Amino acid sequence: MIVMGIESSCDETGVGVVDWDGEKATLLADEVASSVDEHARYGGVVPEVASRAHLQAMVPTMTRAREAADIDRPDAIAVTIGPGLAGALLVGVAAAKAYALAWDVPLYAVNHLGGHVAVDTLEHGPMPSSVALLVSGGHTHLLGIDDLSRPIVEMGTTVDDAAGEAFDKVARLLDLPYPGGPSVDAIARDGDPTAIAFPRGMTGPRDAPFDFSFSGLKTAVARYVEGRVRAGHDVSVPDVAASFQEAVADVLTAKAIRACQTRDVTTLVLGGGATANSRIRSMAQERTAAAGIDLRVPRPRLCTDNGVMVAALGAHVIGGGAPASPLTVATDPGMSV
C-alpha cells in the first residue's frame, strides 16, 4: 500500500511517500521545501509568511514527490492536522482534501508529534514499547509509546519555552545567526561546557519529574552576559554557548532516562530538529549506554519536519484499522498527543 504524507505545520512544506507492507514502511520519496530563509530576517517563524510559502510550494513539492516515488497517485493520504500554526496547517489540510477527492483515495488526519516518533521506523524497523524525547523549535515532549497505531501517552512537556526555542533565543542574545540551534552548536565546539554553572530547570524534588522549563535558563544566560558587559569584562561566546548547551542536554537526557526507567522500557527514541544537536546526541549516547537502554536516533534529515514522518505514522494508523477521516476534518493547532 502506497501512503502519502503531507506536512505543513510550521515552515516546512513536506510531501513524503512510503510503501507499507503491513508491518514496515519503506521510504519512496521525501520532498521538502523550506521557508526558513524568509523568516531569518525576523529572527523567528512568521506565521503569515509561512502560510503563503506553503501555498506556493505545495503543488510543486507534491509533483516532485510523485516523480521521485514514480507513482501517479497513492492508495491513501495522511496529513498533519496539528499541533502547529493555524494558517500553515490549513494549507496542507486543504491540499490533502483536494487530492483525496480528486484521486478518490481515503484521507487520514494525524498528529505531528506522533509523526516525529513514527519516522524512526523507516530507519530502524518496528518499534518496541519505548519512550520518545521530542525536541524542536515548537515542542519538547517526553512520550510513552506502546503501539504507533494507538494514541501516545504524554509523560511530560515544557511549561514554557521549547528546547529549540531556547537555543534560538540564546543565539539572538549572543548575536549568532538564525536559526540559532546550529549556530550555538557550532560555536560551542570551541567552548568549555563547565565554564559557567547555568541552572537546570525543573529538577527539584517537588518538580514534575518529566516536565521541562527553559525560560529560567534563558534568563540566566541574559543576566550573565549583561553582568559581564556591565563590569567591563569580555564575554566568551563559545564558553556561554557550550555551558548553555550542556545545561539543556543534561536536563533532557536525565529526564528521558528516568522516563524509560519509570515505564520499564529499554528503548529511547529521539526526534525533532534539535536532536541534530551534537551534545544532546553525545550525552544521550553516553547515558543510555550506561543505563542499558537502546538509543534510536533517525538521521538528521528525518528528525526535522518532513512529509515522510506523516506518511509513516499514517501507515501505522491504517495498519491498526482506524477509519478514514471525513473530508470535513478540521485542523487542530493546539492538538495534544
Q: Which of 8, 136, 158, 288 binds ligand KG4 (CB under 6 A)?
A: 136
Stretch that binds ligand KG4, among 90-98, 223-231, 254-262, 270-278 (CB under 6 A): 270-278
Phi, psi of 79 (to 5 degrees): -140, 145
Query: C-alpha cell of 235?
Result: 564575554
The one of ligand KG4, Zn ion, none whose footprint includes residue 5, by CB under 5 to 8 A per kind, is none
Say if residues 108 and 324 touch (Cβ distance below 8 Å). Answer: yes
CB neighbour class for 52 (10 Å; exposed up to 12, middle 13-18, buried from 19): middle
Residue whose CB is less far from ligand KG4, 5 or 273: 273
Binders in 101-140 for Zn ion, by CB under 5 A: 136
Residues 266, 293: contact at Cβ < 8 Å? yes
Minimal distance in Å, beta carbon 211 to Zn ion? 19
Of residues 260, 305, 315, 335, which one binds Zn ion by CB under 5 A? 305
Please report how close the Cβ of residue 215 comes to ligand KG4 at its closest, in angstroms.
15
Residue 273 binding ligand KG4, by CB under 6 A: yes
- Min dist. Cβ of residue 303 to Zn ion (A): 9
Instruction: Give the shortest CB-166-to-ligand KG4 separation in angstroms.
Output: 8
Residue 319 engages ligand KG4 in binding (rule: CB under 6 A): no
Amino acid at 228: R
Letter for the amino acid at 170?
Answer: V
Which ranges in the chain belong to alpha helices (H)? 36-40, 47-69, 86-103, 112-118, 120-124, 163-173, 180-188, 215-230, 237-263, 278-291, 300-303, 308-319
Q: Is 12 in the site for Zn ion (CB under 5 A)?
A: no
For ligand KG4, which is the closer residue by CB, 19 or 239? 239
**Of 78, 59, 57, 76, which Cα lies nearest the Cα of 67?**
59
Cβ-based neighbour number of residue 27 at 10 Å: 17
Instruction: Give the shortest CB-271-to-ligand KG4 separation in angstroms.
Output: 8
Q: What are the DSSP calls for 23-61, one per residue?
A: S-EEEEEEEEEE-HHHHHTTTS--HHHHHHHHHHHHHHH
305 has binding-site annotation: yes
Was 192 annotated as part of a binding site? no
Give the one residue of 274, 284, 312, 315 binding ligand KG4; rule: CB under 6 A.
274
Nearer to ligand KG4, 118 or 265 (CB): 118
Q: How many CA atoms lie within 13 A of 333 on its CB side?
A: 9
Q: Under a CB-based contact definition with an 8 Å cutoff, are residues 333 and 82 in contact?
A: yes
Strand partners, 222: none
- Within a 10 A sphere around the Cβ of 145, how many other Cβ atoms? 23
Q: Which of 3, 4, 10, 58 binds ligand KG4 (CB under 6 A)?
A: 10
Should residue 182 be labelled a site residue for ligand KG4 when binding is judged by CB under 6 A? yes
11 lies in the binding site for Zn ion (CB under 5 A): no
Mark the segment that binds ligand KG4 (CB under 6 A) among 125-133, 162-170, 257-265, 291-299: 162-170
272 lies in the site for ligand KG4, by CB under 6 A:
yes
Q: Which residues are annotated as a binding site for Fe cation?
A: 112, 116, 305
Q: Which residues are annotated as a binding site?
A: 112, 116, 134-138, 168, 181, 185, 277, 305
Q: What residues line the site for ligand KG4 (CB under 6 A)?
A: 10, 136-138, 164-165, 167-168, 179-182, 185, 272-274, 276-277, 304-305
